[in-house]
Amino acid sequence: MGMDRRFFLKIAGWSGLGLNGIVKAVTNDENIATEVPKRLAMVIDMRKCREQKDCKDCMLACHRVHNVPEIKNTKHEIKWIWKEPFENAFPSQNHEYISNQEKSTPSIILCNHCDNPPCVSVCPTQATFRRDKDGIVMMDFHRCIGCRYCMVACPYGSRSFNWEEAKPYIKEINFKFPVRTKGVVEKCNFCAERIAKNQIPACVEACKEKAIIFGDLMDPDSEVRKVLSANDTIRRKPHLHTLPNVYYIM
């Protein structure tokens, strides 16, 4: 069959155009649900915390909702949200002459839900993973094999290992939420189960002083963004580049 060069180029051109159309139709953006990913974050206003020194409302609420056992043995204890002295929570911001008010009140500590979480990269079973849709660092207890690499990797001590059966240490079990079995690691889940029902995290809800502010960093009108732009805030161990999503007003 004879085909001259001119004819071949014409055919090639038209086919190219046609192919382009097909590709566009298949990958039509309107057909793909484009939900803008969120970046959930928290701001903890330590000025308000300082006024209520012995307040434990956020911790009690969190630990009650999530069936966190109260184990007295500090080597076995389980913590989702707790208090830590300033020099332990913020070693890189600490110095000899730090103001007394910063030093005197322990900071409220929980999982930072880092943008660059080291616990996720070390997990051999991907039991810990970062949710793309809102940035929550989640745990899949079904997959956790209890190797505790994540506990070594986390620079914030946010993770606890279940050395023993938790049930005997839970005063009142919340039947709607599972407990954890012996041999898995656990930590704060930013109340993923409550967020799914459009509720705010239990600690935020429990705080009468409104010292914990929760919201989406991607939304410029959100309360967290407003608080962040209006105040000086710090994050824990920023030099490690884990990019925490929990901010502190000191």
Partner 1 sequence: MYDAPKVITGIIIFLLLITSPIWYDISTGKASYVPDPKIKTTAKKCIESTAFMRANHMELLNKWRDDVVRGASRTYKAQDGKEYEKSLTNTCMNCHLSKSEFCVKCHDYAGVKQPKCWNCHNEPNLDSTLKD
Contacts 24+ apart (CB under 8 A), 97-104: 101/50, 102/46, 102/250, 104/50
Among 39, 50, 130, 131, binds partner 1 (CB under 8 A): 131
Among 122, 138, 151, 217, binds partner 1 (CB under 8 A): 138
> Quick check: 125 binds partner 1 (CB under 8 A)?
no
> Quick check: 168 binds partner 1 (CB under 8 A)?
no
**Of the ranges 28-36, 88-96, 116-124, 173-181, which one interacts with partner 1 (CB under 8 A)?**
173-181
Tokens matching residue 70:
């109260």
Provide the CB-side half-sphere exposure for 66 (13 A, CA).
25
Provide the CB-side half-sphere exposure for 44 (13 A, CA).
23
Nearer to partner 1, 129 or 163 (CB): 129
> Quick check: 163 binds partner 1 (CB under 8 A)?
no
Among 21, 140, 152, 210, binds partner 1 (CB under 8 A): 140
Q: Could you tell me whether strands 81-84 and 107-110 are parallel, antiparallel, or unpaired per DSSP bridges?
A: antiparallel
Nearer to partner 1, 155 or 183 (CB): 183
- In angstroms, give the least distance from the CB of 128 to partner 1: 11
What whole-number distance in Å separates Cα of residue 152 and Cα of residue 155? 8
Q: How far is CA 80 from CA 58, 111, 144, in A?
A: 10, 7, 17
Among 106, 129, 153, 237, binds partner 1 (CB under 8 A): 129
Considering only residues 191 to 210 of the shown chain, the ones binding partner 1 according to CB under 8 A are: 192, 196
- In angstroms, give the least distance from the CB of 140 to partner 1: 5
- Asked if 236 contacts 220 with a C-beta cutoff of 8 angstroms, the reply is no
Nearer to partner 1, 133 or 208 (CB): 133
What whole-number distance in Å separates Cα of residue 14 and Cα of residue 169? 73
